[in-house]
A and B are shown apart, each in its own frame.
Chain A
Amino acid sequence: MDCPISVKVCEDDFDVGHETAVLQHAKPDVGAVVNFVGYVRNINDGETVSALELEHYPAMTEKSISDIAIQAREKWDLLGIQIIHRVGRLAPEDQIVYVGVASKHRLEAFTACEFIMDYLKTQAPFWKKESTPNGDRWVDAREKDNTALARWD
């Protein structure tokens, strides 16, 4: 089964409509595309966030995300996976991350999209630093993200 995987880590913004069209393009067997978009929130842990700096480990990031996508492709019957993660300086309301999954039926695409996000949040080497009125601070990893991951075991 042909399931192309595309992974992009970049500073540029993305267009969900365009990415969706790419997932479906020339594939009459696609019956479902599930898109997830993550945004920068204006408040985190009770503090106003004016900007977010996203650092990553360039030599590892794309490979780490591709590995996650390959795992998803092996687990479910999928027809395409596109993942985009932005790095650099972002502001509230900016898009940070996109995961799009195409499949014949919706269940596979919904489930695989969640799986990819749970793994991406806990495995891919990105780190967020927030600017708040009280100065800059590194965002701490959350236990609930590890709990979300554990359900796939």
Chain B
Amino acid sequence: MINIVFFARIREQLGVGQLTSPINQLKTVADLRRQLIEEHEASWSEVLMAQNVVIAVNQVVSDETAEISSGDEVAFYPPVTGG
């Protein structure tokens, strides 16, 4: 299984903070994102494909080319605004 987490504006726009997905044929974050978009309403494409979306794999900032395997956690979040 892949654990998928969303934060802040993205979490609100999607209406969910956390999901799981079987690994199946998924090899990269791009595959996972494509599957999430296919499984949900059209707004998910807009939110998850936005240019400024940050992707983290296992709590390290990464990108859509990152390979994923069972047990990984993939996060999608907007640019950070702490401090």
Chain A contact residues, CB within 8 Å of chain B: 38, 54-57, 59-60, 63-64, 85, 96-97, 117, 120-129, 138-141
Q: Contact at A127–B5, with CB atoms within 8 Å?
A: no
Contacts of B73 in A (CB 8 A): 59
Q: Contact at B77–A57, with CB atoms within 8 Å?
A: yes
Main secondary structure of the interface of A (DSSP, over half): mixed
Given known contacts A57-B59, A57-B75, A127 and B83 CB-to-CB distance under 8 angstroms: no
Q: Looking at the complex, which one of B52, B56, B75, B78 makes contact with A127 (CB distance below 8 Å)?
A: B78
Q: Could you jot down 30 A-B contacts, CB within 8 Å?
A: A56-B82, A57-B5, A57-B7, A57-B77, A59-B59, A60-B56, A85-B83, A96-B83, A97-B82, A117-B83, A120-B83, A121-B82, A124-B82, A125-B75, A125-B77, A126-B80, A126-B81, A126-B82, A127-B7, A127-B77, A127-B80, A127-B82, A138-B9, A138-B78, A139-B81, A140-B81, A141-B52, A141-B78, A141-B79, A141-B80
Closest A-chain residue to B7, C-beta based?
A57
Contacts of B83 in A (CB 8 A): 38, 85, 96-97, 117, 120-121, 124, 126
**Chain A to chain B: the 9 pairs with minimum beta-carbon distance, closest first:** A126-B82, A141-B79, A127-B8, A60-B59, A121-B83, A139-B81, A138-B9, A128-B81, A120-B83
Q: Given known contacts A97-B83, A125-B77, what 18 new A-B pairs fall within 8 Å (CB)? A: A57-B5, A57-B77, A60-B75, A117-B83, A120-B82, A121-B80, A121-B81, A122-B80, A124-B82, A125-B75, A125-B82, A126-B83, A127-B7, A127-B8, A138-B78, A141-B78, A141-B79, A141-B81
Closest A-chain residue to B12, C-beta based?
A138
Report the interface size for chain B: residues with CB under 8 A from the other chain: 17
Q: Mark B50-70, 1 if CB is under 8 A from A, else 0.
A: 001000100101000000000
A120 vs B80: C-alpha distance in the bound complex, in angstroms?
9
Report the minimal beta-carbon distance from A23 to chain B, rounded to whole angstroms: 20
Q: Contact at A129–B8, with CB atoms within 8 Å?
A: yes
